[in-house]
Structure 1
Amino acid sequence: MRKFFLKESKVELYAKEHVKKVYECYKEFEKMMPHFYEGNYEKVDILTKKVSELEHEADEIRRKMEMGFYEGAFLPFDREDRIMLTENVDKVADTIESTAFTISLSKLEFPPTFKKDFEAFMDIIGQIVEALKDCIDSLEKDLTEAIRKAHEIEKLEEKADKIERSILTKLYKSYRHEEIGVVKLLEMKEVVIHLGNIADKAEDASDRVLIIAAKRRG
């Protein structure tokens, strides 16, 4: 029995390390964005590589967690949800990395009139990823706080959706007014959708936290 609980404690520790690494991945991505706005792709490429390295480190922690699950950490009814939570959190890092690569490869000239819109979008997404970190941290020590954070993520994600739709509307309006061409429209749209996906994946992870909490409370 003691061995069983030791396995659980190790996996719980890995879970916190994993989401912390995902948060670090986002913070590095956040540093990259001003260089994207300025068209400094040399710096964008350097930071994209750093994002990729952090995503790889998150993957390594996830693999350690998976080994703990396969070795019998947690009871079967809880294990499946834990595995899905781990996968959902990992998808946040995957999406951050793919967004960074999309920007790095595009080499598009960022339209200055969209800078404030993107900064607002990034701010909300950053709040979501940070709240996810806090949500996972609270899962073992304060279930009420974990639930509160999950609901906070849900509300923040709704705000992110509104900003995403607003930017897309503005993009199409700029295209219709011939302020940007069709290529830039499509490239910018792809970046916006990728950013929105980061928020979506984080909400998916928080939804899994709510399922775990509901089962625990019976």
Structure 2
Amino acid sequence: MPDLAGWFRIRREEKSIHLIDEHSRKVFSCVMELVNLVDLVMNEGSPEEVFIVARRINEMEHEADIMRRNVLDVLSEGKLDPSEREDLVHLTKRLDAIANNANAAARRISILN
């Protein structure tokens, strides 16, 4: 029976890491889209183009929020070592803050443009 419990623990860890990896990739995409938005504004893109990119960033941030909730749900199931779980929760929250800030910056840029 301990072998089966260990197998489930490893699977839970793998799932957590996979979900965090997907979440971090979504956050990275959100930030890269913000870079594209800044480039667009600096190269005097049209207000419509700026609005479209800002809206895309908002959608990506919303997708990242959904992914964050999924990660936190999996982590809360309690199959990981508490210290590992705490670190992964903090990482997930920090990634979410990055996406939130990218979205806030995009909104401000689109308003000022």
TM-score by length of 1: 0.47
**Larger Cα Rg: Structure 1 or Structure 2?**
1
Deviations 1:136-156 (A, max 9, x none): xxxxxxxxxxxxxxxxxxxxx
Q: Which has the higher contact order (CA 8 A, sep 6+)?
A: 2
Equivalent residue in structure 1 for 2:29, among 1, 24, 27: 24
1:90 is aligned to 2:96: yes
Equivalent residue in structure 1 for 2:15, among 5, 10, 31: 10
Equivalent residue in structure 1 for 2:109, among 103, 111, 116: 103
1:81 is aligned to 2:79: no
Distance in 2 separating the partners of 1:25 and 1:73: 30
Number of aligned pairs?
107
Percent sequence identity is 32
Runs of 4+ in 1 over 6 A off after TM superposition: none
RMSD: 1.3
| Structure 2 residue runs without a partner (length 5+) | none
Q: Residues 35-54 of structure 1: matches in 2 within 5 Å?
A: 35-37=40-42, 38=44, 40-54=46-60
Distance in 1 separating the partners of 2:108 and 2:79: 37
CA shift for structure 1 position 34: 2.5
Q: Residues 8 and 24 of structure 1: is their aligned pair in 2 closer, same or farther, counting only changes over 3 Å?
A: same
| Structure 1 residue runs without a partner (length 5+) | 108-218
- Partner amino acid, structure 2, of 1:27: M
Deviations 1:74-105 (A, max 9, x none): 21122111101110011111110000001111
- Aligned residue for 1:63? 69
Q: Residues 44-193 of structure 1: matches in 2 within 5 Å?
A: 44-107=50-113
